[in-house]
Amino acid sequence: MFFTPGTHKEHGLPFNPLKAIVAPRPIGWISTVNSKGQANLAPYSFFNAISETPPMVGFSVSPGEREKDSLVNSRETGEFVVNIVSSAQMQAMSDTSAPAAHGESEFDLVGLEAEPSQTVAPPRVKDAPCHLECKVWDILALPEDENGQRNYWVMGTIIGININDKVIVDGKIDVSLYQPVSRLGYKDYAVVRDVFEIERPKGGY
């Protein structure tokens, strides 16, 4: 089957399969604050690490009836935190995707405990296994779609890393201890449970 983007329904696919094709995708559970210090928390599955040196991450914010708080707050304050989602937190993560009024904290709505970050103003999700404290490097406006709407790609430089000591074993993070959640297509998610090593080739080709 071949089709051009946006024509999937004409080929018998009622839902856009793109998200199912590019999967699994890590989830950036992004916490921000606005200029008044009010916290926001929302998950983004178009998210990933984009550079090791300097250490950087990015997340894509889709359009809606109004600009999403994660975008507005990141633009206003220049800061955000990535909270890594464990299997124990996947329902709470999903709950924070519900619409909320600007300035209303998803921490309070969902009943999540926040704790102060070390280097930025946005708080962290206390029980998340890892946190990346970020300064906004740039916000890129992506091309408009056929309706004149656009996504924004928010890029941040990591200036602080927090790891729960309980998930460190022999000097390495053991993801099997918290089982990170990833996004698939449609309403589907996955949890990392099987972990294995593959040695890199030692010679060239």
Residue-wise pLDDT tens digits, 141-182:
999 988 889 999 999 999 999 999 999 999 999 999 999 999
In sequence order, which ranges of 2-56 are alpha helices (DSSP H)? 18-21
| Cβ proximity of 120 and 79 under 8 Å | yes
Condensed to tens digits (0 to 9), the pLDDT of residues 115-151 reads: 999 999 999 999 999 999 999 999 999 999 888 899 9
Tokens of 33: 């604050």
How many other C-beta atoms can be found within 10 angstroms of the C-beta atom of residue 148? Answer: 7
Q: 183: helix, coil or strand?
A: strand
| Cβ proximity of 139 and 157 under 8 Å | no
Residue 120 pLDDT: 98
pTM of the model: 0.94
Band the pLDDT of 205: cuts 50, 70, 90: low
Condensed to tens digits (0 to 9), the pLDDT of residues 33-49 reads: 999 999 999 999 999 99
Tokens of 148: 């004149």
The candidate with the shortest Cα–Cα distance to 152, out of 53, 54, 16, 44, is 44
Percent of the chain residues topping a pLDDT of 70: 99
Residue ranges of domains in the chain, CATH in brackets: 24-191 (2.30.110.10)
